Each structure stands twice: as structure tokens, then as C-alpha cells.
Structure 1
Amino acid sequence: MSDVPLSVLFGILALLIILSGFFSSSETGMMSLNRYRLRHLAKSKNKGAIRASKLLEKPDRLIGTILTGNNLVNFAAAALATIISQRLWPDNPDLAVFVNTILFTLIVLIFAELTPKTLAAIAPEKIAFPASRALLGLQWLLHPFVWFVNTIANGLLKLIRIDVNNATPDNLSTEELRTIVREAGTMIPKRHQHMLISILDLEKMTVNDIMVPRNEIVGIDLEDDIEEIMQHLRITQHTRMPVYRGDINNVV
């Protein structure tokens, strides 16, 4: 490394920081995806959604792949930053270590962690779908190592009685579905929101809430004079009424 120009070392370090940001944003983006929207997009043959769904079928393998790549990149970047600082201050190793620790931590925190993760949390689909292509390739490439690491990690989880193969399903309760409908905003018109919530409220209704008492039923008696029928039609508030002859039970 002593013969490599500093400009080249800085270029490699910048590349490693970018790769670290890729892994950080990929992790946040994949974990922030809306599972119901993802299923809808996958059924609509969206290629990015299909790849992301395939990766999320085995979340332990996905996380293992991302963390393996992220840690390899971060450790390589830390080692390279140490070499660069030693090259910059060869006569003062304590200063080199101090500056490297502070400066490298800030760079990683801003450019490889905070910024990419915030971006991925705000727009998970824009990050996760393109990244899924690279993650599938890395998952295949790192499979032996990831399998080894996951086997140990899953074994430790089983010691505390957690089975990664028996994850909690993404089921919604009635109240959760009602909240989703109410917070849909402009994606679902207000009129449709009221209709959907009314459907959800049907389980709370009784027969008395739905049935109309006989003495309150409004209808048209065909035996009345035509003028009386026309007047009745003009003033009624209903758009549909029963038509009967003589008696309300004789609906025609």
C-alpha cells in the first residue's frame, strides 16, 4: 500500500463508502416496504416487486446477506482509512488514530448510514426494487457463508424459543383495516371511504337498525288517482318505493 498514490486510496475509500450506503439503504428499504402493496404489485407482474417478494420470503437470509456485505465493506473502509491517516501523519501516529476515528465515524454516519437510510425510509420502493437485483446476485454468491452464519444465529434464537420459520402472519384486524381506510387520504375518495367503513360496521348492526317498521313504509298504491300518485312522486324523498295494489302486502 505504500506505493499506491493517495488519490487512488481515497478513490477506493469513496467507493467503499458508497457500497456501505447501498447496503444500509437496501436494508431499510426492504424492511420498510408495505407488504400489501408489494403483493399487489407482484400480482401485477412488477419485476422489482417480484424480486423483492422473493427476497422477503426468507428474511433471515436477506438480512444475513445485507449485513455480511455491509460489514465486509465497513471493515475494509476502516482499514483503508487507517492506512491513509498513517500516510498523512507518519510522524504522529496518535494524531493519525484520533483524526481517523473522529473523521471516519462522521463520514460513515452521514454518508453511509443516516442519509441513505432516511432516503430509503421515505421512498422504500425506489430504493428496494432496483437494489433487489443486486441483492439476489449477492445472496447466491454469499450463500455458503450466509447459511453458516444464519445457522448459528437461528440456533441462538431457538434457545430463547423463537422460530424464524414461524413468523407472525401479516393479518389485519377489523379495527386495523378501518384505520387504513381512514388514513388512505386522496387514494380513496371520501365517499368510498364512508362506504367501506359502513361495510365494516355491518357486524355491529342489528335487525332493528335495518328493518323499517310497517307504518313507516312509503309506497305507491295503484288504486289511487293518478293526480295523487303524481303529487306523491313529486314530494317523496325516496328514489325507490314499493308499488302495491290496495294493501301494502300486495306488492306488485
Structure 2
Amino acid sequence: MDNIPLWAQFLALAFLIFLSAFFAMAETALMAANRFRLRHQAKRGSRRAIATLWLLERTETLLSLVLVANTLLNAMAIALVTAIAITNFGMEEHVIVIAICAVVFVLIVVAEISPKIIGARYADQIVLPASVILRPLLRMARPLIWFVDLFVNALLRLFRIKPSSALQDARLSPDELRSVLLESGNFIPQKHKSILLNLFDLESISVEDVMTPRAQIEALDLSVPVEQIREQLTTCYHNKLPVYDGEINQIVGILHVRKAVGLLNEEDELTAEHFRALLSEPYFIPQDTGAFDQLQNFQENKERLAIIVDEYGEVQGLVTLDDIIEEMIGDFTTSTPSAARADSFGWDARGECILEGVTALRDINKRLGLDFPLDGPKTLNGMLLEWLQEIPEAPISVKIGNCIIEVMQVHDQSIKVVKLRRIDGPALQK
């Protein structure tokens, strides 16, 4: 040390501190880097992003390299300061202690805390150039890391800890991915975010939640006079109609209205058999089929309309491809009366809303911001009948959650019209 100029010794010390700061900053940046952005850049051919992902796939080895390098560099810096103090001031104990304390303080501030804060704050800007340096270093240091890992693994086995369980799988679960979307802020347009979240919700609902109930199905009865069939075809709102023979549970096929309209123009003496010849096979599905599964089934079977039946074969409703797609992207513009009603309801200035009993609870929760239970009946009428345990005589009011529901009209053993009024208070009472 006597032959080395003092400025060179301090330059060597500064270089050791710089290297220690680099490893601390690179380690923090790698752990905080956005892996999704890195994968996107790697797919576009970025060599730096590919090198970074290569390092992240070897996280245990990378951490070993950084810890070994930092420990060696910090020890060398302390040893160098000690040697400088002894060379210039002799074996003065208080000088040596002051020098060691000073370099430890510098290491903590300059080589540990500051670079880690910078690495966490500017992870995406630092991680790419740092990976270009770390990747060859990791390859060169493999023999040293392998030697150190022998003792590390032996120590872990002594405490019955499996080395492979130390790090968690980096893949995201659906719930975690949902949280990422919710916390994405303005990075994803609100409409796109809504579609993605609805797609996740599609996994948890069945076709029964999105179907047109049996009572609202527009269907064609072949047992009625032809004039009634003709009148219904000329006023129907749909391109396809389920066709039954006398009773809705006896569905015999699906009629394309365009074909039937062409038949009306061609035939003078029409009979039910003329319409029966135009029918295509009905597509039946069980009522507990998942909405997402049915979306795939529609694609595989090249169908757009399905009849929903229960375990006894009774028709419960009808679901179309449009119904499921609307769950993901929102309602389409349509002129059907049911759609007009569905789009019209909302709270008025007094905090009230008048609804039909057949309104779906999922639509009410979505449009009115309520939290009615969805694990039982699917409509407002069904929920009230289950809650009251009887068919009420209007008027009667119940409080469910933060809402007072007033039954305004009952007809044919079902609740036809209700009024909802917002209040505060989570209790359930009659």
C-alpha cells in the first residue's frame, strides 16, 4: 500500500462502492420490473428484454450472485479503508474505528438504501441495461455460486426447508389478474377494462342468469289457426322463433322468420305443415350450463340460439349468442320492447324506481347499485316470493338490504309491479 498513491487508493474504494451500489440497484429493479411489459418487448424482438426474462427465470441463482458480490465488495471496501487508515495513521485504534464507521455509513447510504430506492422507482428504465451486464456475470460466476449453494442447501435441509419452495410461482391467478385490472388506473380505457372484468364474471354465472325467461319467450304455436300464425309472423321482433305444438314444452323446431315471410308471399292456402317443413332442429341445453361454456358450445356447434330445460325436460327459458356477448360488452342498440324497458329504469329524484316483477336481479344490481342476493331466485318476483313465503296481496312492503320494496300489483299468482326506494341500513326485516 505504501507504493500506491493515496488518490489511487480512494479511487479503488469509490469503484468498490460504485459496484456495490450497481448490484443493489440492479437487484431491486429486476424484482420490481413489470414482467408483462418485458414479455411484450421480448415478443417484439428486444434483446435486452429477452436477457432480462432469462435472468428472472433464474431468480435464485441471480439472488445468490448479487448477495455474494455485495458481500465481497462491502468486505473489500472495509478492508481497504482499514489498510488506508493503518498506512497513513499507524495502529491508532480510534482512527481505525472512525474510518470503519465512516465507510459503513457510506455503504449503507450510497451502496444500499439510495440505489435500492432508485431501482424501485425507475425499475423499467434500469432493468434493461443492467441485464446486459448481469447475464454474462451470472454465467461466469456459476462455479462460485454452485459452491456456495452446496452449503446453503445443506443448511436448508438441516431445517427441513425445501429450496424450491422459497419462491412463489410468478403466474397470476384469475383473482390476481382481476385485481391488476382494477388497479390499472388510466393505462387501460374504461370500456376495455369493463369488457375484461365482465369476461371474468362470465366464468361465475350460468345461462340461467342471462336467459329470456319462459314467460317472455316469443314463440310460434302451430296448433292455432293459420291466420294467427300469419299475424304473429308479420309483427314479430326476432329473426328466429321457437316453434311448439300446443304447449311450450313441446318445442318441435326453430323457424327462420325470413323463410316464413317468403312463404307468406308465395302460398295462398297455407297450413301448419308448410311452416313445419321450414323448421330446423332445436338446440337444448341444461339450465346449469356455465355462460362461458355455452359461448364455446355456440362456437363449436355453430348455433346462435338454445332452449334451456330443467332436469325434468321443462322449458325454462331461451338464451342466444347475443345475450352472452351483451354480458361482456354491454347492451346492443335494439328496438325490442323488452330492451327498451331494460334501458329505461333508474332512480328518480326521490330515490324511487318502479320495476316489473320479471326484472332480473343481476340487472337491478348493475343499474341501481344494489346488492340483492344472486344465489337463489333470478328475478325480483322470485326473490320476493321466497322472502315472503306466500303470494302477497298488494300493497305490502318489505325491507331487503338498503332498499324498501313495495308490491304494487299482483296478478296470476305472481308479482307484476313493484316500487323500490333507497334507504340506509343493512338489516333485513319484514
Give the distance between the partners of 2:154 and 2:58, measured in 1 at CA: 16
CA contact (8 A) 2:17 2:107 kept: yes
Partner of 1:55: 55
Partner of 1:143: 142
Larger radius of gyration: 2
1:149-168 to 2 correspondences below 5 Å: 149-159=148-158, 160-164=160-164, 168=168
Equivalent residue of 2:163, what SS? Answer: coil
Q: Quickly say closer, same or farther: Cα 1:191–1:145, change in 2 above 3 A.
A: same
2:238 is aligned with 1:242: yes
CA RMSD of aligned residues (A): 2.9
Deviations 1:83-102 (A, max 9, x none): 22334533x71221221122
CA contact (8 A) 2:78 2:104 kept: no
Instruction: Give the number of the structure whose residues are more often strand, by fraction.
Output: 2
Q: Quickly say closer, same or farther: Cα 1:88–1:166, change in 2 above 3 A.
A: closer
Give the distance between the partners of 2:85 and 2:111, measured in 1 at CA: 20
CA contact (8 A) 1:28 1:117 kept: yes
Give the distance between the partners of 2:151 and 2:36, measured in 1 at CA: 31
Deviations 1:32-87 (A, max 9, x none): 23333333332222211211222222222222222222222212111111122334
TM-score scaled by length of structure 1: 0.81
Give the distance between the partners of 2:234 and 2:144, measured in 1 at CA: 88
1:12-23 to 2 correspondences below 5 Å: 12-23=12-23
Deviation at 1:31, TM superposition (A): 2.2
Residue ranges of structure 2 left out of the alignment (5+ in a row): 220-231, 245-253, 258-430
1:18-167 to 2 correspondences below 5 Å: 18-90=18-90, 93-159=92-158, 160-164=160-164
CA contact (8 A) 1:89 1:95 kept: no
Q: Quickly say closer, same or farther: Cα 1:143–1:244, change in 2 above 3 A.
A: closer
Partner of 2:177: 177
Equivalent residue of 2:175, what SS? Answer: helix
Displaced runs of 4 or more, over 4 A: 214-219, 247-251
Q: Quickly say closer, same or farther: Cα 1:4–1:214, change in 2 above 3 A.
A: same
Give the distance between the partners of 1:103 and 1:200, measured in 2 at CA: 56
Deviation at 1:244, TM superposition (A): 7.0
Residue ranges of structure 1 left out of the alignment (5+ in a row): 230-240
Give the distance between the partners of 2:171 and 2:185, measured in 1 at CA: 22
Give the distance between the partners of 2:167 and 2:10, measured in 1 at CA: 43
Instruction: Give the number of the structure whose residues are more often helix, by fraction.
Output: 1
Q: When the two structures are aligned, how many residues end up with a matched partner?
A: 235
CA contact (8 A) 2:21 2:110 kept: yes
Deviation at 1:161, TM superposition (A): 3.5
TM-score scaled by length of structure 2: 0.49
Give the distance between the partners of 2:44 and 2:154, measured in 1 at CA: 37
Q: Structure 1 residues 10-19 or 156-165, which shifts more?
A: 156-165
Work out the percentage of aligned pairs sharing the same amino acid. 34
